[in-house]
Amino acid sequence: MRPQILLLLLFLAILPLSAIAARGQGWKQIEDVDDPRIKSMGEFAVADFNRKTHAGLIFKAVLTVTDDVVDSEKTGYLLHLAVEGDPPSCFDTVVLEFRWLDHWEVLYFDSKSC
């Protein structure tokens, strides 16, 4: 009877690890930064930052973008943006996309060197 219990305990210990490994594949580079949806996401992030801080940043371009599938309903995007301002600078932002709602939420927005 003991070997069956040991096998069961081993199985129960490995099962959560395999679920965690299959859940997310990590951040992946998106090559097409000129995709209209990616550009809209960058414009949305700058507009959201301006609304919250009353800053006068003007979206210029998405320089790089990576994504990470959080689960079947959400995807996170890390965008490196160029903006016009005084002085012109770059920002990193993390935008969470809720696919079933067609909704974006800015989780992070901070200045970064270009």
**CA angle, 65 as apex, 60 and 40 as ends, to 5°?**
50
Does the pLDDT at position 50 exceed 70? Answer: yes
Does the pLDDT at position 17 exceed 90? Answer: no
Q: Which of 15-19, 37-41, 48-52, 57-61 has the lowest mean pLDDT?
A: 15-19
Please tell me the predicted confidence (pLDDT) of residue 60: 95
**CA angle, 90 as apex, 108 and 50 as ends, to 5°?**
55
pLDDT confidence bin for 1, thresholds 50/70/90: low
Please tell me the predicted confidence (pLDDT) of residue 18: 46
Overall pTM surpassing 0.85 (yes/no): no
Please tell me the predicted confidence (pLDDT) of residue 64: 95
Asked if 93 contacts 108 with a C-beta cutoff of 8 angstroms, the reply is yes
